[in-house]
A and B are shown apart, each in its own frame.
Chain A
Amino acid sequence: MSTMTINLKIWRQKNTEAKGEFQVYKLNDVNEHMSFLEMLDVLNENLIKEGKDPVEFDYDCREGICGSCNLVVNGRAHGPKRLTAVCQLHMRTYSDGDTIVIEPPRAAAFPVIKDLVVDRSAFDRIIEAGGYVSVKTGAAPEANLIPVQEEVANQAFDYATCIGCGACVAACPNSSASLFTASKLAHLNRLPQGKPEREKRTVAMVQQMEAEGFGDCSNYAECEAVCPVGISISSIAEMRKNYLKAIF
């Protein structure tokens, strides 16, 4: 088992108002099988022992599914590995002596809370605006009453798999939340259960996205490139089409 020395340059910021800055740390004995976040755990253990404030960062599942983690690593959301959330990244990706720069996802709509932790509640408000099927508990018909073509169900799943991490926003030069919003629309709008509310949902979510201060989409496709679950930008085209249809 090989170990390495890793140089870290990490964004530190006391709170939302404070001016942040990078700080440099050196970490020895990094094991190649460690996950990226476990490497940061080790750094924090060292900092605590030295009487310093540990680096705050968000995580929960550490399995790439909850969408809590959202670090920008060497300028790339979730780091270098395609289709991999940063909690699923392992140190074997790096070599002895490497320098790794770690920042929070930066966007006006994601204010920093502390260090690498940001406020992503804007995403909740976009869902709140219309990201659901309006069915009350108890009002559902028998599940097999409405067959859904296997292919449609599969496509819906491919969009529904979005973990809401915000990497798409971090990667976009315009800080657009189009991929996040469009994936929910593409999931619900194509299912028979979601069709009755398609237009209303599309308009409400798109307008909320704009109200939150996210930028427009200019087709850079950076979002798709960093998405840890591979949501396709064809959802954005679909969203635009549906939106235009709905408002005219």
Chain B
Amino acid sequence: MKLDPKVPSGPLETKWSNYLRDVKLVSPNNKRKHKIIVVGTGLAGASAAASLAELGYNVQTFCITDSARRAHSIAAQGGINAAKNYQNDGDSVWRLFYDTIKGGDYRSRESNVYRLAENSNQIIDQAVAQGVPFGRDYGGLLDNRSFGGAQVSRTFYSRGQTGQQLLLGAYQAMMRMVHAGKIESYVRHEMLDLVVIDGKARGIITRDLVDGSINKWEADAVILCTGGYGNVFYLSTNAKNSNVTAAWRCHKRGAAFANPCFVQIHPTCIPVSGDYQSKLTLMSESLRNDGRVWVPRDPEDSRPPNEIPEEDRYYYLEERYPSFGNLVPRDVASRNAKLVTDDGMGVGDSGLAVYLDFRDAIKRDGKDAIKAKYGNLFDMYENITDDNPYEVPMRIFPAVHYTMGGLWVDYNLMSNIPGLFVAGEANFSDHGANRLGASALMQGLSDGYFIIPYTVGDYIAGEELPKVSKDHEAFDEAAKDSQEQLDKLLNVKGDKTVIEFHRELGKIMWDKVGISRSKEGLEQAIEEIRSLREEFWQNVRVPGDANYYNKYLEFAARVADYFELAELMALDALDRDESCGCHLRDEFQTEEGEAIRNDEKYAYVSAWEFLDVNGKLETKLHKEDLNFEFVELKQRSYK
């Protein structure tokens, strides 16, 4: 396997403009002759599909939900970053780049991150032109809020529903192209395999989730925008249908999987309430602008929070990180929540929660001001917990939220399989070992609106792409594989449900491959994952049949893939003998619990090649060395 990142040479500031200067173009007449498949219609997929169709390509989109508009991106709350510097507080493309690469703890490519920062401003322009109703000030100009990991105010927002509004903008742009006849949109279709012919991605296999039929689709390029794999933990803030299946099946066809162990655990989620829990709800990080995080200093203190006086409250983020305080990056905030609860200072019935308190902000700005900023989040919290956060502090705890790892891509966002592009959360590209808030929306839209349309064109213009037929044996083989796997799952007819297995897998992952990891724990996790995987294939019970709508069959196939991915995540975490970003290895930390990074040995992207699975996962590690030419690697400090 050869991994060439294909980063253009030259100064950081001109890499992308030089690339655009030299990019190969497809003539308008020829674009019409090419078909492109876009899998997933979240921010990355909808924006890519709309933009490619506007250019004249014939696009087919696929998604699991019953409308493209319902992709998981719809749930993003807090906002989207851009380097507009409307606040005149010293922001710039360089600073956004620098914050993002530092926030990622120097485990991402300089060139990609710089391009992301460069594209950020255009995204805001595009969204506003589509009618996205961003928050505005009295003068009618765009407003900003602050997010963790930055000292400037650069986050654009639509109340607490920024993802919804941006996605609707992209979805509407996509539907405009459906109307124009340039996009065929297939909803309730799940991709089950990638078809590779002569070494190039030439199509996909899907299952029609309504009638259960297995279908073949051919194309000149496939763009995977299928989101992240946080649901491997069972409980996460991801939507219930978020999954790794499309990416994993591509991995099994030869695409390298990069940095699988980099998982972001978001510090501000509503704590687990019982074992029936099906998902976790995020409380936007923007709440940390005004909310103060604390626990009682005395683990025995059982007074209601409002009766605990100032001197008995431990505002641990403010005390430990005086310059960033409550706005430290997510990994730091999550790790500290774990430290204080490990020390017995946690609150609530389970002891697995900390307070996020708005008392002082309400005193300072008034209830109305706080309500205007966070009203819908407060309502959501009250609805779920039955507590009123205007009166008593919220209880929060970290939860799995975002996966920085994903399929390996080069500067073109192309995987090592020619013709397979990967955009949005599904790729590994821009966030290193930790993602800063409000930067996933930015990345998905940068990929979809402003990168993919050029790089896919460059690929199509430069490749020989003879017509392929759906009767090609590679299509038949992949379709047969997909059908057989489903049949196999249905035929186990065991005693334990898919959800029971998934929950058990999630617990192993949370305990041993979660906020902190150790060599010993990871080795145990691998053993446990393997034996549970074996049990799964012998004892899972999947109801019904494959030839009609059957949600639990869909879940079963996804959980089967999680069982393989889970092992790879643990292996990757075991390989990385350092702590960086969200990856904290117990063995590599200072006495105060700060991460110890090892740039000499681990400044690389780990890219795993799939060899085979036969009870045991056979993989091979490849390393893409990260060369930092423009920034100096520093120990991150938010003190």
Distance between B71 CB and nearest chain A CB, rounded to angstroms:
8
Q: A61-B74, A65-B74 are in contact. Are A135 and B129 (CB under 8 A)?
A: yes
- In contact, A132 and B172 (Cβ under 8 angstroms): yes
Which A87-138 residues have C-beta < 8 A from chain B?
A: 88, 90, 92, 113-114, 117, 119-121, 123-124, 127-138
Smallest Cβ-Cβ distance to B279: which chain A residue: A62
- Picked from A34, A45, A92, A127, the residue with its CB within 8 Å of the CB of B386 is A92
Given the complex of chains A and B, what is the CA–CA distance between A78 and B380 in angstroms? 16
- Chain A residues within an 8 Å CB radius of B245: none
- Chain B residues within an 8 Å CB radius of A233: none
Which B189-215 residues have C-beta < 8 A from chain A?
A: 210
- In contact, A120 and B50 (Cβ under 8 angstroms): no
Given the complex of chains A and B, what is the CA–CA distance between A106 and B239 in angstroms? 26
A170 at the interface (CB under 8 A from B): no
- In contact, A62 and B278 (Cβ under 8 angstroms): yes
A234 at the interface (CB under 8 A from B): no
Smallest Cβ-Cβ distance to A150: which chain B residue: B136
Q: Flag the segment in A4-12, A46-54, A214-222, A238-246 that touches B.
A: A46-54
- Picked from B121, B158, B239, B552, the residue with its CB within 8 Å of the CB of A54 is B552
Majority-rule SS of A interface residues: loop
Contact with A along B525-559 (1 / 0, CB 8 A): 00000000000000001011000111110000000
Q: A144-B86, A150-B137 are in contact. Are A193 and B278 (CB under 8 A)?
A: no
- Picked from B74, B141, B185, the residue with its CB within 8 Å of the CB of A124 is B185
Which B51-86 residues have C-beta < 8 A from chain A?
A: 51, 54, 65-70, 72, 74-75, 84, 86
B499 at the interface (CB under 8 A from A): yes
Given the complex of chains A and B, what is the CA–CA distance between A179 and B380 in angstroms? 24
- In contact, A164 and B133 (Cβ under 8 angstroms): no
Q: A65-B161, A88-B383, A92-B386 are in contact. Are A153 and B69 (CB under 8 A)?
A: no
Distance between A171 CB and nearest chain B CB, rounded to angstroms:
19
Given the complex of chains A and B, what is the CA–CA distance between A223 and B140 in angstroms? 32
Smallest Cβ-Cβ distance to B121: which chain A residue: A143
Given the complex of chains A and B, what is the CA–CA distance between A34 and B68 in angstroms? 29
Smallest Cβ-Cβ distance to A129: which chain B residue: B179
- Picked from A31, A45, A144, A193, the residue with its CB within 8 Å of the CB of B130 is A193
Given the complex of chains A and B, what is the CA–CA distance between A66 and B74 in angstroms? 6
- Chain A residues within an 8 Å CB radius of B142: 143-144
- In contact, B130 and A124 (Cβ under 8 angstroms): no
- Chain A residues within an 8 Å CB radius of B135: 153
Q: Flag the segment in B269-277, B470-478, B584-592 that touches A.
A: B269-277
A73 at the interface (CB under 8 A from B): no
Contact with B along A30-61 (1 / 0, CB 8 A): 01011101100110110111011110101111
- In contact, B241 and A60 (Cβ under 8 angstroms): yes
**A interface size (C-beta, 8 A):** 81
- Chain A residues within an 8 Å CB radius of B159: 157
Distance between B273 CB and nearest chain A CB, rounded to angstroms:
5
- In contact, B384 and A65 (Cβ under 8 angstroms): no
- Picked from B75, B126, B134, B141, the residue with its CB within 8 Å of the CB of A65 is B75
Which B137-157 residues have C-beta < 8 A from chain A?
A: 137-142
- Chain A residues within an 8 Å CB radius of B137: 150
- In contact, B122 and A68 (Cβ under 8 angstroms): no
- In contact, B140 and A148 (Cβ under 8 angstroms): yes
- Chain B residues within an 8 Å CB radius of A65: 74-75, 161, 164
- Chain B residues within an 8 Å CB radius of A34: 274, 276
Smallest Cβ-Cβ distance to B51: which chain A residue: A137
A15 at the interface (CB under 8 A from B): yes
- Chain A residues within an 8 Å CB radius of B161: 65, 161
Between B70, B74, B122, B175, the greatest number of chain A beta carbons within 10 A of the residue's beta carbon is seen for B70
B600 at the interface (CB under 8 A from A): no
B392 at the interface (CB under 8 A from A): no
Given the complex of chains A and B, what is the CA–CA distance between A153 and B97 in angstroms? 30
- In contact, B239 and A42 (Cβ under 8 angstroms): no
- Chain A residues within an 8 Å CB radius of B128: 140, 143, 146, 193
Smallest Cβ-Cβ distance to A83: which chain B residue: B379
- Chain A residues within an 8 Å CB radius of B500: 45
- In contact, A66 and B75 (Cβ under 8 angstroms): yes
- In contact, B543 and A53 (Cβ under 8 angstroms): yes
A176 at the interface (CB under 8 A from B): no
- In contact, B239 and A61 (Cβ under 8 angstroms): yes
Distance between A106 CB and nearest chain B CB, rounded to angstroms:
17
Q: A60-B240, A68-B65, A193-B128 are in contact. Are A134 and B176 (CB under 8 A)?
A: yes
- In contact, B125 and A140 (Cβ under 8 angstroms): yes
- Chain A residues within an 8 Å CB radius of B210: 113
- Chain B residues within an 8 Å CB radius of A247: none
- Chain A residues within an 8 Å CB radius of B136: 147-150, 153
B124 at the interface (CB under 8 A from A): yes
- In contact, A133 and B70 (Cβ under 8 angstroms): no
B257 at the interface (CB under 8 A from A): no
- In contact, B141 and A61 (Cβ under 8 angstroms): no
A67 at the interface (CB under 8 A from B): yes
- Chain A residues within an 8 Å CB radius of B403: none
Given the complex of chains A and B, what is the CA–CA distance between A247 and B105 in angstroms? 59
Distance between B547 CB and nearest chain A CB, rounded to angstroms:
10
A76 at the interface (CB under 8 A from B): no
- Chain B residues within an 8 Å CB radius of A61: 70, 72, 74-75, 239-240
Given the complex of chains A and B, what is the CA–CA distance between A132 and B168 in angstroms? 9
15 extra A-B contacts, CB within 8 A, seeds A35-B384, A132-B130, A143-B128: A35-B278, A41-B499, A53-B544, A60-B240, A62-B239, A62-B279, A62-B281, A67-B69, A121-B66, A132-B173, A135-B129, A141-B129, A144-B141, A191-B133, A193-B128
Q: Which residues of B are interface residues toward A (Cβ below 8 A)?
A: 47, 50-51, 54, 65-70, 72, 74-75, 84, 86, 121-122, 124-131, 133-142, 158-159, 161, 164-165, 168, 171-173, 175-176, 178-179, 185, 187, 210, 239-241, 273-274, 276-279, 281, 379-380, 383-384, 386, 449-450, 453, 495, 497, 499-500, 541, 543-544, 548-552
> 26 A-B contacts, Cβ less than 8 Å apart?
A35-B278, A49-B495, A52-B543, A53-B543, A54-B544, A62-B240, A64-B380, A65-B75, A68-B65, A120-B67, A127-B172, A127-B175, A128-B175, A128-B178, A132-B173, A137-B47, A140-B130, A142-B125, A144-B142, A146-B128, A148-B136, A150-B138, A153-B135, A153-B136, A164-B67, A164-B70
Q: Which residues of A are interface residues toward B (Cβ below 8 A)?
A: 1, 14-15, 31, 33-35, 37-38, 41-42, 44-45, 47-49, 51-54, 56, 58-68, 83-84, 88, 90, 92, 113-114, 117, 119-121, 123-124, 127-144, 146-150, 153-154, 156-157, 160-161, 163-164, 187-188, 191, 193-194
